[in-house]
């Protein structure tokens, strides 16, 4: 899949469907050449015009046509005459930031080597992937920079990351380090990004690339709901079903920066990597820094084609452990039912009723540990509250299991409250500056996970509860972002390393816990989808998508989230009405029709339900179980964008193509009761499908090209779920 063409001085990564090509120019510079649909060769058809341009500096004074400022570069550095964004800025012991990165050599490795201490896409067999490592040398500092590229046999994706080594005898300082940089040849792309906030995560924004630089970033200590580490470029006419897409996503959960920069003379530079605002790294002699990786996806089949690649890759080669391939349980979470006022009796009553309805897992959310009566205290002290659970949590867990549902539990391990034994005994374990009081958020402080003993404490305190209760599910929360970046542990010269060291500490904790408890299903959460990213999915194969459970808002959130992440990774729950975030009352059937399009759960006091609602829940859960293989492991296609109109729709197709599930939603009632016929995707046009509700037969071609109509109901917030089975023609 990887070859080097000596005559062209070009590297080709090619899996028969996509080609990625870059070359060596003048024996030393790496030139971005092509990334897209498979081509046999790239002979320079889209090369920029080179001539003697004003202000362009010339590394070879005799060649005024050649300038790095106009060369599409694979990994540009600072102060070398390319005035676009550099991917690499290094400070040398003399305080200067001048580099001369030049090509040295390359190696091709079978498979995909792991990234030490970091989440990464993996290959299970060496034949599934091939990796190219290209070595550059900084002629100024001697630093060795290795660019890694992996191509996969079965996924149309390339993984890129960078390693920097200091072979010298004095320290060097990394100031800016991008995991990837890529110069694409055109300017007429649309840029799609996902931004948002708490309660409105991952909203797609689309606009043409203009003549400036778009900067996406987080300096919040988490990938955050505000901007997603993801850049999607499309042809202007690309839609969900057709057209070209180039996408980059960072497999990292901390601070990041991504830029999309239009070149002066054409072309677009895309970069993604560490956020220089909160990143700096001292490379002591002999040390190596490994960046997190980026996943680059190309699709010729529109945004759904792009999502299909991300979904399969992340489901099959990013998520790990036994839960990767298992069907996920339907859960009931205590939070929206009880908040902090939980106790043994209420929990047991809820679990018993859950079992009767067919729910498979009861999750004890926040409030179970000593002194946790509200959000002002007790984080950090992970011992059960004897007042709320007089017979102990172990007994509650046993009773829950005896009632017929598994037992799961909530933690927010990275945090500590002032009012906690942990803070009182280790005031130096928090992130803060000694010069001022740290800023609180939800009354809590963040633990300094750059300290090994803090990480050990977290592993031990979570493990103790898991051992005692035999819990088979953990909800891992993170409810504030990081301010006052400062560590009592790190020396002054290394304070800028704290953000990344925090992530390395967290990844180590997660690696140890998931390794010790492989049977436990972990779900990430950060006030909803505040840290819903590819990095977390490596440890925890699902994430609570949003604290906003309103069905109408959730359509939009799940629609946006699905650009990158498969439905099985999105925790989505049916909750009570009026919705506690929006006050909106939507029918139970629609709340279910939205939540079932993710990883289904319930989050309400089911003890207070009417008999009618209880019967409906029972039916919903049975229906979900009958369909969940397709919903959780099938392919997902977005059909109608809820952000653009009154209707939303998507469809699922089972892995073997035998079942199709179509979900159609209408927000406000239409007095004219107009029909929306939505063309389905991913079906076999030659096949015939039978609609389960009435036995009607339709051709795959008819469903894909004429569409499937919804039903005219006189009500707001309606939904229609249609199941079609493939039948022999
Ligand atoms: C966060 C989570 C909620 C819940 C609360 C508990 O807000 O997103 O689901 O767990 O914390 O405090």
Q: How far apart, in whole angstroms, are the C-alpha atoms of residue 338 and residue 381? A: 21
The verdict on the CB of residue 527 being under 6 Å from ligand 1 is yes
**Residue 533 is among the residues annotated as catalytic for this protein:** no
Sign of the alpha-carbon dihedral angle for 28, 33, 39, 40: negative
Q: Which residues contact 636 (CB under 8 A, 6 or more apart)?
A: 307, 308, 311, 562, 566, 567, 650, 651, 652
* Residue 412 CB less than 6 A away from ligand 1: no
* C-alpha distances out from residue 27 to 35, 104, 329, 520, Å: 22, 9, 57, 52
656 in catalytic set? no
Distance CA(98)–CA(101), nearest Å, equals 10
Which residue CA neighbors atom 3 of ligand 1 most closely? 527
Q: How far apart are the first and last CA of the chain?
A: 39
| DSSP code per residue over 5-51 | ETTTTEEEEE-SSEEEEEEEETTTEEEEEEEEE--S---STTPPP--
Between the CA of 362 and the centroid of ligand 1 the distance, in Å, is 15
Is ligand 1 within 6 A of the CB of residue 366? yes
Ligand 1 centroid vs 477 CA: distance in angstroms?
A: 7
Q: Is the CB of 365 under 6 A from ligand 1?
A: yes
C-alpha span between 540 and 323 (Å, rounded): 9
> Is the CB of residue 335 below 6 angstroms from any atom belonging to ligand 1?
yes
Q: Cα–Cα distance between 62 and 454 in angstroms, integer? A: 58
Q: For position 729, what pLDDT does the model report?
A: 62
Pocket test for ligand 1, best of 339, 527, 532 (most atoms within 8 A of CB): 527
Indicate which atom in ligand 1 lies nearest the CA of residue 365.
10
- CB-CB contact of 10 with 134 (8 Å): no
Name the residue with the closest Cα to ligand 1, atom 8. Answer: 527
Ligand 1 pocket check for 367: Cβ under 6 Å: no
Q: Please answer whether residues 191 and 42 qualify as being in contact, where contact means their C-beta atoms are separated by less than 8 angstroms.
A: no
CA of 394 relative to ligand 1 center, distance in Å: 23
> DSSP string covering 276-295, please?
TTT--EEE-TT-EEE---EE
Can you say how many angstroms the Cα of residue 476 is from the centroid of all Cα atoms in its chain?
15
Say what the pLDDT of residue 427 is. Answer: 97
Choose one of 201, 366, 372, 603 to mutate for the ligand 1 pocket test, by most ligand atoms within 8 angstroms of C-beta: 366
Give the pTM.
Answer: 0.98
Q: For each successive 10 residues of the chain (729 residues), what is the average pLDDT?
A: 97 98 97 98 93 93 95 96 97 97 98 97 96 98 98 98 98 98 96 97 96 97 97 98 98 98 95 98 98 98 98 98 98 96 96 98 98 97 97 98 98 98 98 96 98 98 98 98 97 97 98 98 98 98 98 98 98 97 98 98 97 98 98 98 94 98 96 92 98 97 97 92 92
Between the alpha carbon of residue 229 and those of residues 224, 225, 275, 532, 535, the distances in Å are 9, 10, 11, 10, 11
Measured in angstroms, how far is the CA atom of residue 288 from the centroid of ligand 1? 38
- Nearest atom, ligand 1, residue 526 CA: 8
Strands 542-544 and 521-524, bridge-based pairing: parallel
From the list 82, 366, 381, 477, the catalytic residue is 477
CA distance 686 to 610: 46
């Amino acid at each position: 899949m990887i070859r080097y063409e000596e005559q062209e001085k070009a590297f080709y990564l090619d899996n028969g469907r996509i080609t990625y090509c870059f070359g060596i120019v003048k024996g030393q510079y790496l030139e971005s050449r092509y990334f897209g649909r498979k081509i046999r060769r790239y002979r320079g058809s889209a090369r920029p015009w080179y001539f003697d341009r004003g202000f362009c500096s010339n590394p070879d004074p005799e060649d005024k046509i050649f300038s790095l400022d106009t060369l599409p570069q694979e990994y540009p550095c600072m102060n070398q005459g390319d005035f676009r964004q550099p991917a690499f800025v290094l400070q040398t012991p003399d305080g200067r930031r001048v580099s001369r990165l030049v090509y040295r050599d390359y190696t091709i490795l079978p498979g995909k080597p792991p990234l030490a201490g970091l989440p990464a896409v993996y290959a299970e067999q060496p034949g599934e992937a091939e990796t190219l490592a290209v070595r550059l040398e900084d002629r100024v500092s001697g630093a060795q920079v290795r660019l890694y590229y992996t191509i996969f046999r079965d996924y149309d994706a390339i993984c890129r990351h960078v390693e920097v080594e200091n072979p010298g005898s004095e320290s060097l300082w990394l100031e800016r380090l991008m995991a990837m940089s890529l110069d694409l040849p055109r300017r007429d792309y649309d840029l799609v990004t996902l931004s948002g906030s708490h309660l409105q995560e991952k909203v797609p924004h689309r606009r043409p690339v203009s003549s400036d630089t778009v900067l996406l970033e987080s300096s919040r200590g988490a990938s955050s709901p505000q901007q997603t580490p993801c850049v999607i470029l499309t042809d202007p006419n690309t839609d969900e079903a057709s057209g070209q897409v180039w996408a980059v996503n960072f497999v990292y959960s901390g601070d990041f920066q991504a830029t999309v920069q239009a070149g002066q003379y054409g072309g677009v530079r895309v970069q993604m990597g560490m956020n220089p605002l909160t990143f700096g790294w001292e490379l002591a002699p002999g040390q190596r820094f490994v960046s997190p990786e980026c996943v680059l996806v190309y699709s010729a089949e529109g945004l759904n084609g792009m999502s299909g690649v991300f979904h399969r890759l992340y489901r099959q080669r990013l998520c790990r452990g036994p839960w990767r391939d298992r069907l996920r349980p339907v859960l009931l979470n205590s939070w929206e039912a009880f908040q902090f006022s939980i106790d043994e009796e209420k929990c047991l009553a809820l679990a018993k009723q859950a079992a009767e309805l067919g729910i498979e897992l009861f999750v004890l959310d926040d409030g179970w540990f000593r002194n946790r009566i509200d959000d002002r205290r007790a984080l950090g002290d992970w011992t059960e509250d004897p007042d709320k659970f007089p017979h102990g949590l172990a007994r509650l867990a046993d009773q829950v299991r005896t009632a017929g549902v598994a037992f799961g539990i909530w933690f927010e391990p990275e945090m500590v409250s002032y009012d906690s034994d942990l803070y009182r005994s280790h005031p130096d374990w928090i992130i803060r500056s000694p010069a001022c009081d740290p800023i609180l958020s939800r009354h809590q402080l963040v633990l300094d996970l750059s300290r090994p003993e803090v990480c050990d404490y977290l592993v031990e305190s979570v493990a103790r509860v898991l051992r005692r209760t035999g819990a088979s599910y953990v909800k891992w929360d993170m409810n504030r972002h990081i301010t006052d970046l400062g560590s009592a542990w790190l020396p002054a010269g290394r304070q800028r390393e704290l953000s990344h060291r925090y992530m390395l500490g967290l990844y180590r904790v997660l690696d140890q816990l998931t390794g010790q408890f492989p049977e436990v299903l972990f779900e990430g959460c950060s006030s909803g989808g505040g840290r819903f990213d590819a990095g977390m999915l490596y440890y925890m194969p699902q994430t609570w998508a949003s604290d906003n459970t309103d069905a109408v808002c959730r359509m939009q959130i799940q629609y946006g989230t699905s650009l990158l992440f498969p439905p099985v990774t999105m925790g989505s729950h049916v909750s009570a009405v009026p919705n506690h975030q929006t006050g909106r009352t939507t029918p139970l059937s629609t709340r279910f029709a939205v939540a079932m399009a993710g990883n289904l759960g319930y989050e309400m006091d089911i003890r207070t339900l009417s008999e009618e609602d209880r019967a409906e829940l029972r039916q919903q859960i049975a229906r979900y179980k009958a369909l969940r293989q397709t919903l959780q492991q099938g392919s997902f296609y977005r059909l109608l964008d809820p952000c653009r109109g009154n209707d939303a729709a998507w469809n699922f197709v089972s892995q073997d193509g035998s079942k199709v599930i179509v979900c159609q939603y209408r927000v406000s009632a239409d007095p004219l009761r107009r029909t929306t016929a939505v063309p389905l995707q991913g079906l076999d046009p030659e096949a015939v499908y039978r609609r389960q509700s009435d036995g009607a037969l339709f051709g795959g071609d008819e469903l894909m090209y004429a569409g499937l109509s919804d039903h005219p109901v006189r009500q707001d917030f309606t939904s229609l779920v249609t199941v079609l089975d493939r039948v022999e023609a």
